[in-house]
């Protein structure tokens, strides 16, 4: 039985607070059997994860996928680096942007698509300064307040 695409979504909630997203990409993830089972169970954490290039390939580092409950001695290492699957043209484009401008690649979310495959949404991003974070919080609060006022009038 395949899971619906919206059933499993693991988000990096801290990312939008700490980073300003410039470009977003969807990439496949090279996983072992116990890793995909743990992701389907929702047992992954993206908080401190980021992507790095090694030999022209893109890898996720710092993503924690808990060991599978029913896994035996063949269970995976929870913090191992996982290869991202992108087209060569996209990899070159991303690598060029990151090297030229010193930006960071972070994982925004992991989800299961309609075919049952694990995908990662990654973003080329720029770190926010402390005053930018405060400004975005103020904007979010004022938007929320305006929505409340609109709803109370109706």
Q: What is the pLDDT of residues 86-126, one digit of tens each?
A: 898 988 888 888 887 778 888 888 888 888 888 889 888 88
Contact 20, 125 (CB under 8 A): yes
All structural domains of the chain with their residue ranges: 9-128
Alpha-carbon distance of 145 to 154, in angstroms, equals 15
Enclosing H/E stretch for 52: strand 50-54
Tell me: pLDDT of 61 over 60.
yes
Q: What is the pLDDT of residues 22-47, one digit of tens each?
A: 888 998 888 887 788 888 888 888 88
Alpha-carbon distance of 135 to 75, in angstroms, equals 44
Residue 64 DSSP SS3: strand
Query: Average pLDDT of the chain?
Result: 81
pLDDT band, very low/low/confident/very high, at 3 (cuts 50, 70, 90) = very low
Looking at residue 4, what is its pLDDT?
47
Alpha-carbon distance of 51 to 140, in angstroms, equals 28
Mean pLDDT of 144-149: 84
Q: Which CATH architecture has domain 9-128?
A: Beta Barrel (2.40)
Asked whether the CA dihedral 87, 52, 128, 44 is positive or negative, the reply is positive
pTM of the model: 0.71
């Amino acid at each position: 039985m395949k899971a619906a695409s919206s059933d499993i979504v693991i988000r990096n909630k801290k990312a939008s607070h700490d980073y300003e997203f410039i470009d977003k990409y969807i990439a496949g993830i090279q996983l072992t059997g116990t890793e995909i089972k743990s992701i389907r169970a929702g047992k992954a954490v993206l908080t401190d994860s980021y992507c790095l290039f090694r030999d022209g390939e893109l890898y996720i580092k710092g993503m924690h996928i808990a060991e599978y409950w029913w896994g035996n001695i063949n269970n995976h290492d929870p913090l191992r680096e996982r290869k991202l699957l992108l087209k060569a043209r996209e990899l070159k484009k991303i690598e060029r942007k990151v090297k030229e401008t010193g930006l960071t690649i972070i994982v925004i979310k992991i989800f299961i698509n309609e075919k049952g495959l694990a995908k990662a949404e990654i973003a080329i991003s720029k770190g926010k300064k402390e005053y930018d974070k405060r400004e975005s919080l103020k904007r979010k609060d004022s938007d929320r307040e305006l929505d409340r006022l609109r709803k109370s009038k109706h």
